[in-house]
Structure formats: C-alpha cells, structure tokens
C-alpha cells in the first residue's frame, strides 16, 4: 500500500499526511493480535484506511486543510478512530479536503488541490475529495469522510465509489473538527456496498462524549446485504428530474429506475416542492454555525498565531486574516451577517422554519415510500478550477432533515467519468438503503 502511495501521490495529492511509520507500526501490532487469535471476526483487520483530515488522530497532524491548524497535533483520538483501531484497521494517511470542509471540489485546501483518478483534469469533488481519490486510486482500501451537505456522497459520485451518510446521531462526532454541528456526520467511502457496511458497523453506535449521539449500542447493518427488493416502494421527487441534469446523467437515472423496476420494486414519481429552497436554507444555517465554530481560532488558545501584533485585538485580527483562506473568510462574513441582530429574523430564523417544513415533507414522503432516489449530482466531475458545483440541490436537504443517504456508482458518461445514484432513507432506515444498494450493484 505504501509503495502505491509513493508512486501515485505526486499525481493525485489525495493526502495531506501519509502515516508511513505509524502504519508500519500498526500493521505489526495488528499482526500480533491476529496471531494471538484476536480479531478473528473483524473484517477490518489489517485493512488500510484513509481518514479525512478534519478527524482528530492522536499524535498525528490534523489540519482541516487550513493554515490555521497546519501544525495542530491532537492529544486524543476521535471516537471513530478509536473504534477503527480496536477493529484492527491500519490508518494509512490523512486525506485532503476543502478548508474546514467548506467547499465541493477540494480546491480550497491550504495543501493544494486533489485530482480525480479517473481523469486528472477533473476534480474529485469535495469536500471529502482526498478520501474519495485515495480509494479510487487504490491508495487506500476504504476511507472516512464527513458530510455536512453532500461532502461524502458527491465525491463518491465523481470518483465512482459508494459513499454513505449515516442518520444524524448514529456515528459519534467526538473529535471531528466541526463545520456545522447540526448537519455534520462522519461516514465511509468504499468501492462496494459490503465494504461500506463493514466500516459503518464499526464506527456507529452510542458515544457519551457526543451529546447528539443516539443511545443505540450497536447497529446491525450486514444483515441487510440481501439481493431482494421485491415490493419495495421507491419514490422519485419530480423536482430532482427538472434540475438541469446533464443528458448522460438523466439517461443513466432513467436506466437505474428501470433496473429497480425489473427487480420488482414499485417506482412512483411525486411532487415535493418543499425541497426547492434547501440549498439556500442549508447555506444560511451552515454559514451561521460555521462562523460560530470558527470563532475559537483566535491565535491564543490554539492554531496559528501571527508573528507581530500590537495588542490583543490586533492579534486576533492578524492571526485570523493570515491563516483563514478566502472561502472560509467569505463564509464567516456571511454567517456573521445572517446572525446579526437586525438580520436574524429575516434570514436565520426563516431558514430554521423552512428547515422544519423540509423535515415534515420527508416525514410525509416516508409514509408512502421505503426509500427515495435521485442522481447524486446533476453532472459528472467538473474540470479542475471550474468552480461549478451544483450538487447542493440534490444533497443538502438530507442533512437538514437529519436523514441517511448513500451514493452508489450507476454507470459512466460518454467521457468515461463515473455517475452516482443517490438513495435516501428515513432516519435509522440504513438497512433499507443497504438492501436497495446491494441489489442494484
Ligand atoms: N458543498 C457544500 C458546502 O460547501 C457541502 C460541504 C460539506 O458537506 N462539508 O457547504
């Protein structure tokens, strides 16, 4: 694995930090545990895993792709990391991302852009672009990403992978450097459904260290790996078909519907107009929470500190203006604006109300359907530096409503770039998604 990384990293830049020595050390320990009879039932024993670099790893730099945290070495492991280590996984590196996960193409990283292994002129998507590229380029077997408004699913689509966004509260966020805590979830990226399920079973479950964690000790997902969807009710929100889908994506989506029908599922198109403004609502909420969270980086407690300053105020100002990138600053300003006392009602509170309406619309939809499907993105991977990311419309409402959703590979466009299919499930209905995804695969 390390050899492959050496050869391919100069091309793709999937990683911010490759954990060469640590991985060797861990591999040795895992071997000892295997020899002593431990780990017999662990599908992750010895498996090289890439970790998005906004997830804290003890003793290993965790940067969130920001100059602000370029030298930050956490003194503790995130809960998901602890769980992976217990399961015998070998952490192989910290994957690139958009700065503080704010973006959709891994181009706002302080550590350079990542390229799509399917075609190096294209973006791998984002913000978990490094996690996706690492798996697609065989620089890792599987990886962890985080999804605030599509950041696992969209890069999975652009890189031809499975990406799973679990129900809010299912996977502990302890040790995840937050972007917008009411939306963030950690989840797996992999080459097939069974691998994602193996990872998901290990990282999910109650954690007292995360106050939003749901009190369910273990989730049994592998039992849903069944190739049978006869009678399953699948809804397709009309809105998603009208959203300027690229011709190849549109065609591929209709083919996917046909596959589900042939396997005995019932497909129904229906109106769900409530979703129309989900990106706008999402951005108001995400920027507001984002700017509150980033206020902790003041150059005093931790993070980057400006070299020269006149007083405390000046230290804050210089540290923050020197260490945050353009996109992060833009979001801090907009977040501050929507939270300001005279704009609070107009923007933030209104967004919260529409958020509830979106959740209720989903509740209604799931009375009629087991799962909903849509393309993961209206397009395949855009060219590098083209600044064109339009997948928010298809992805963000899932986080607003705290639901679960997965992206699975569903074909290629005429240029050979992968296309992804999104399957959305009600809260804690991961098993329905898994069944549908596994049958489709
Ligand atoms: N593209 C979205 C954003 O920029 C999603 C990011 C994410 O899920 N982390 O906010």
Residue 324 lies in a domain: no
Ligand 1 in reach of 151 Cβ (< 6 A) = yes
pLDDT exceeds cutoff 90 at 109: yes
Q: Is 43 helix (H, G, I), strand (E, B) or coil?
A: coil
pLDDT exceeds cutoff 90 at 237: yes
Q: Say whether 52 is catalytic.
A: yes
Give pTM, 2 decimals: 0.97
Q: What is the pLDDT of residue 416?
A: 97
Q: What is the pLDDT of residue 165?
A: 98
Q: What is the pLDDT of residue 241?
A: 81
Q: What is the pLDDT of residue 242?
A: 73
If 0-12 CB within 10 Å is exposed, 13-18 middle and 19+ buried, where does residue 263 land? middle
Percent of the chain at pLDDT exceeding 70: 100
pLDDT exceeds cutoff 80 at 350: yes
Q: What is the residue-averaged pLDDT of the chain?
A: 96
Residue 231 lies in a domain: yes
End-to-end CA distance of the chain: 26
Residue 44 lies in a domain: yes
Q: What is the mean pLDDT of residues 22-44?
A: 95
- CATH number of the domain at 126, please: 3.90.1300.10
pLDDT digits (tens, 9 = 90+) for 363-374: 999 999 999 999
Q: What is the pLDDT of residue 38?
A: 92
Which candidate in 14, 127, 213, 377 is catalytic? 127
- Could you tell me if residue 138 is left (phi over 0), alpha (psi between -120 and 50 degrees) or otherwise beta? left
Residue at token pair 């706008």? 280
Cβ count within 10 A of residue 162: 28
Domain count, the chain: 1
Give the span between the Cα atoms of 392 and 389, in whole angstroms: 7
Give the span between the Cα atoms of 102 and 145, in whole angstroms: 13
Residue 232 lies in a domain: yes
Longest dimension (CA), the chain: 71
Q: What is the pLDDT of residue 426?
A: 98
Q: Which residues contact 216 (CB under 8 A, 6 or more apart)?
A: 170, 205, 206
Q: Could you tell me which of 403, 394, 408 has the C-alpha nearest to residue 436?
A: 408
Inter-residue contact 428 to 404 (CB < 8 Å):
yes
Q: Could you tell me which of 59, 139, 57, 149 has the C-alpha nearest to residue 98?
A: 149
Q: Which domain range does residue 138 map to?
A: 1-268+371-441
Q: What is the pLDDT of residue 150?
A: 97
Q: What is the pLDDT of residue 190?
A: 98
pLDDT range class, residue 244, cuts 50, 70, 90: confident
Residue at token pair 């694995």? 1
Ligand 1 in reach of 237 Cβ (< 6 A) = no
Residue 293 lies in a domain: no
Q: What is the mean pLDDT of residues 1-30?
A: 97
Ligand 1 in reach of 147 Cβ (< 6 A) = yes
Q: Which contiguous run of DSSP H or E holds residue 254?
A: helix 247-262
Residue 365 lies in a domain: no
pLDDT exceeds cutoff 80 at 54: yes
Establish whether the linkage from the previous residue to 127 is cis, with ω within 30° of 0: yes
Q: Which contiguous run of DSSP H or E holds residue 36?
A: none
Which candidate in 52, 94, 165, 432 is catalytic? 52
How far from the centroid of its chain's Cα atoms is residue 171's Cα?
12
Give the span between the Cα atoms of 323 and 307, in whole angstroms: 12
Q: What is the mean pLDDT of residues 310-329?
A: 95
Residue 308 lies in a domain: no
C-alpha 30 – ligand 1 centre gap (Å): 35
Cα-based torsion angle of the residue sequence 393, 396, 402, 405 in order, rounded to the nearest 10 degrees: 70
Residue 335 lies in a domain: no
Strands (E), 223-368: 233-237, 266-270
C-alpha 435 – ligand 1 centre gap (Å): 27
Q: What is the pLDDT of residue 195?
A: 98
């Amino acid at each position: 694995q390390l050899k492959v990384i050496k050869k391919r990293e100069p091309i793709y830049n999937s990683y911010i930090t490759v954990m060469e020595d640590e991985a060797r050390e861990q591999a040795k320990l895992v071997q000892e545990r295997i020899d002593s009879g431990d780990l017999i039932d662990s599908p992750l024993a010895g498996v090289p895993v890439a970790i998005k670099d906004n997830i804290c790893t003890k003793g290993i730099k965790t940067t969130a792709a920001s100059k602000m945290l370029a030298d930050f070495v956490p003194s503790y492991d995130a809960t998901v990391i602890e769980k992976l280590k217990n399961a015998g996984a070998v952490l192989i590196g910290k994957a690139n991302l958009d700065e503080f996960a704010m973006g959709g193409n891994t181009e706002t990283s302080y550590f350079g852009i990542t390229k799509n292994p399917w075609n190096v002129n294209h973006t791998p998507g984002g913000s978990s672009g490094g996690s996706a590229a690492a798996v697609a380029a065989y620089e890792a077997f599987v990886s962890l990403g985080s999804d605030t408004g599509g950041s696992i699913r969209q890069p999975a689509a652009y890189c031809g992978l499975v990406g799973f966004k679990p129900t809010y509260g299912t996977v502990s966020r302890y040790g995840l450097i937050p972007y917008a805590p009411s939306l963030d979830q950690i989840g797996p990226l992999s080459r097939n459904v069974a691998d994602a399920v193996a990872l998901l079973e290990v990282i999910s479950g109650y954690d007292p260290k995360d106050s939003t964690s749901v009190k369910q000790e273990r989730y049994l997902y592998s039992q849903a790996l069944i190739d049978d969807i006869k009678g399953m009710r699948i809804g397709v929100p009309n809105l998603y078909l009208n959203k300027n889908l690229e011709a190849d994506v549109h065609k591929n989506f209709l083919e996917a519907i046909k596959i589900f029908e042939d396997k005995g599922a019932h497909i129904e198109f229906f109106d769900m107009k409530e979703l129309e403004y989900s990106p706008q609502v999402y951005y108001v909420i995400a920027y507001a929470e984002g700017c509150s969270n980033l206020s902790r980086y003041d150059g005093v407690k931790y993070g980057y500190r400006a070299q020269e300053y006149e007083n405390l105020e000046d230290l804050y100002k210089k540290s923050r203006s020197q260490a945050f990138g353009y996109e992060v600053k833009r979001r801090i300003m907009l977040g501050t604006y929507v939270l300001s006392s005279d704009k609070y009602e107009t923007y933030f509170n209104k967004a919260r109300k529409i958020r509830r309406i979106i959740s209720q619309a989903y509740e209604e939809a799931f009375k009629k359907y087991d799962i909903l499907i849509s393309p993961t993105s209206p397009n395949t991977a855009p060219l590098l530096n083209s600044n064109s990311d339009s997948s928010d419309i298809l992805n963000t409402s899932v986080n607003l409503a705290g639901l679960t959703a997965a992206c699975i590979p569903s074909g290629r466009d005429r240029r050979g770039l992968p296309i992804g299919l999104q399957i959305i499930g009600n809260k804690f209905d991961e098993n329905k998604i898994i069944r549908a995804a596994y049958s489709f695969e």
